[in-house]
Amino acid sequence: MARRRQLYEGKAKILFEGPEPGTLVQYFKDDATAFNAQKKGMITGKGVLNNRISEFLMTKLAEINVPTHFIRRLNMREQLIKEVEIIPIEVVVRNIAAGSIAQRLGIPEGTRLPRSIVEYYYKNDSLGDPMVAEEHITAFGWATPPDMDDIVHLTLRINDFLTGLFLGVGITLVDFKLEFGRLYENEEMRVVLADEISPDNCRLWDSKTNEKMDKDRFRRDLGKIEEAYQEVARRLGILPEAGSRDMKGPETMQ
Please say which residue, 48 or 91, places its beta carbon nearer to ligand UDP: 91
Sheet with 13-17: strands ordered across: 6-9, 13-17, 23-28, 78-82, 70-73
**Shortest distance, position 254 Cβ to ligand UDP, whole Å:** 28
Choice from 100, 116, 138, 207 touching ligand UDP (CB under 6 A):
100
Choice from 13, 52, 73, 215 touching ligand UDP (CB under 6 A):
215
**C-alpha closest to that of 132 among 143, 145, 121:** 121
Task: Mark 73-92 with x for binding to ligand UDP (rule: CB under 6 A) and - for no binding.
Answer: -----------------x-x
Q: Residue 4 in contact with residue 16, Cβ under 8 Å?
A: yes
Site for ligand UDP in 20-79 (CB under 6 A): none
Choice from 177, 194, 196, 197 touching ligand UDP (CB under 6 A):
177
Choice from 202, 213, 225, 232 touching ligand UDP (CB under 6 A):
202
155 binds ligand UDP (CB under 6 A): no
What does the alpha-carbon distance between residue 115 and residue 25 come to, in Å, rounded to a whole number?
37
**Shortest distance, position 38 Cβ to ligand UDP, whole Å:** 11
What are the backbone angles phi and psi of residue 73, rounded to the nearest 5°? -80, 140
User: Which sign does the torsion angle of CA 28, 31, 35, 36 carry?
Assistant: negative
Please say which residue, 100 or 144, places its beta carbon nearer to ligand UDP: 100
What does the alpha-carbon distance between residue 185 and residue 227 come to, in Å, rounded to a whole number?
40
Please say which residue, 82 or 215, places its beta carbon nearer to ligand UDP: 215
**Shortest distance, position 194 Cβ to ligand UDP, whole Å:** 13
Please say which residue, 18 or 194, places its beta carbon nearer to ligand UDP: 194
**C-alpha closest to that of 30 among 231, 254, 252:** 252
Please say which residue, 92 or 154, places its beta carbon nearer to ligand UDP: 92
The alpha helices in 89-170, defined as continuous H runs, are: 99-105, 134-139, 145-167
129 binds ligand UDP (CB under 6 A): yes
Q: Where does residue 52 rank: exposed (0-12), middle (13-18), buried (19+ CB within 10 A)?
A: buried
231 binds ligand UDP (CB under 6 A): no
Q: Is 166 helix (H, G, I), strand (E, B) or coil?
A: helix
Q: Choose the binding region for ligand UDP from 57-65, 76-84, 172-180, 240-248 (rule: CB under 6 A).
A: 172-180
